[in-house]
Amino acid sequence: MSPIAIHTQTSIDEPVRTIKLKGAAVDDQEEVARNTLPGPLKYSGSLDGYTHFEVTPSIGREFGKDLQLSQILKAPNSDDLIRDLAVLISRRGVCFFRAQDVSQDEMMELQKRISTSAGQPKESNMCIHPVSENVGEMGAKTQLISAEAQRKGGGIMRLHDDVSRWATRAYHSDVSFEKVPADYSMLKINVLPPTGGDTQWVNCYDILDKMSPSMLEYFKTLKAEHNANFFHQEAANHGRTISKTMVRGNPLNVGDDLSARHPLIRTNPVTGWNALYYSYGFGGRIQGVTYDEHLFLREYLMSLAQLCMNNFDCSVRFRWEAGSVAIWDNRSTLHSATFDYKEERNGDRASSIGELPYLSREGISKSEGLRAEGKQW
Ligand SMILES: [Fe+2]
Q: How many CA atoms lie within 13 A of 56 on its CB side?
A: 18
d(CA 330, ligand 1 centre) in Å: 9
Closest CA to 205 of 325, 353, 313, 85: 313
d(CA 213, ligand 1 centre) in Å: 30
d(CA 29, ligand 1 centre) in Å: 25
d(CA 18, ligand 1 centre) in Å: 33
> Does residue 19 lie within any of the structural domains?
no
Residues 91, 357: Cα–Cα separation, whole Å: 17
Would you give the DSSP letter of residue 348?
E
> Does residue 14 lie within any of the structural domains?
no
> Does residue 8 lie within any of the structural domains?
no
d(CA 23, ligand 1 centre) in Å: 31
> Does residue 120 lie within any of the structural domains?
yes
> Does residue 16 lie within any of the structural domains?
no
Full domain range(s) for residue 230: 31-373
Distances (CA, A) of 205 to 96, 220, 233, 325, 365: 19, 14, 33, 23, 7
Closest CA to 176 of 4, 26, 335: 335
> Does residue 18 lie within any of the structural domains?
no
Percent of the chain with pLDDT over 90: 66
d(CA 335, ligand 1 centre) in Å: 6
Closest CA to 280 of 230, 346, 242: 230
- pLDDT tens digits for 50-73? 999 999 999 999 999 999 999 999
d(CA 328, ligand 1 centre) in Å: 10
Write out the DSSP string of 204-226.
HHHHGGGS-HHHHHHHTT-EEEE
> Does residue 209 lie within any of the structural domains?
yes
Distances (CA, A) of 81 to 66, 105, 119: 14, 19, 16
Quick check: 236 and 131 in contact, CB under 8 A?
no
d(CA 187, ligand 1 centre) in Å: 9
Residues 180, 64: Cα–Cα separation, whole Å: 33
Strand pairing partners for 260? 226
d(CA 349, ligand 1 centre) in Å: 9
d(CA 351, ligand 1 centre) in Å: 9
Quick check: 57 and 313 in contact, CB under 8 A?
yes
Quick check: 46 and 77 in contact, CB under 8 A?
yes
d(CA 173, ligand 1 centre) in Å: 6
Closest CA to 184 of 99, 85, 292, 260: 85
d(CA 348, ligand 1 centre) in Å: 12
Strand pairing partners for 263? 223
d(CA 337, ligand 1 centre) in Å: 8
Query: Angle at the Cα of 322 (from 320 to 325), degrees rounded to 5?
Result: 60
Whole-angstrom distance between the N-terminal and C-terminal Cα of the chain? 36
- Residue 288 belongs to domain with CATH number: 3.60.130.10
Residues 284, 297: Cα–Cα separation, whole Å: 11
Beta strands 182-191 and 325-329, pairing class? antiparallel
- pLDDT tens digit at each of 377 positions of the chain: 333 333 333 333 333 232 333 333 344 446 679 999 999 999 999 999 999 999 999 999 999 999 999 999 999 999 999 999 999 999 999 999 999 999 999 999 999 999 999 999 999 999 988 886 544 333 345 566 666 666 665 566 554 455 566 777 788 999 999 999 999 999 999 999 999 999 999 999 999 988 899 999 999 999 999 999 988 888 888 788 898 999 999 999 999 999 999 999 999 999 999 999 998 788 889 999 999 999 999 888 866 546 666 678 999 999 999 999 999 999 999 999 888 888 999 999 999 999 999 999 899 999 999 999 999 88
* Dihedral pair phi/psi, residue 292, rounded to 5°: -65, -40
For CA atoms 247, 248, 252, 256, the dihedral sign is negative
Provide the number of structural domains found in the chain: 1
> Does residue 9 lie within any of the structural domains?
no
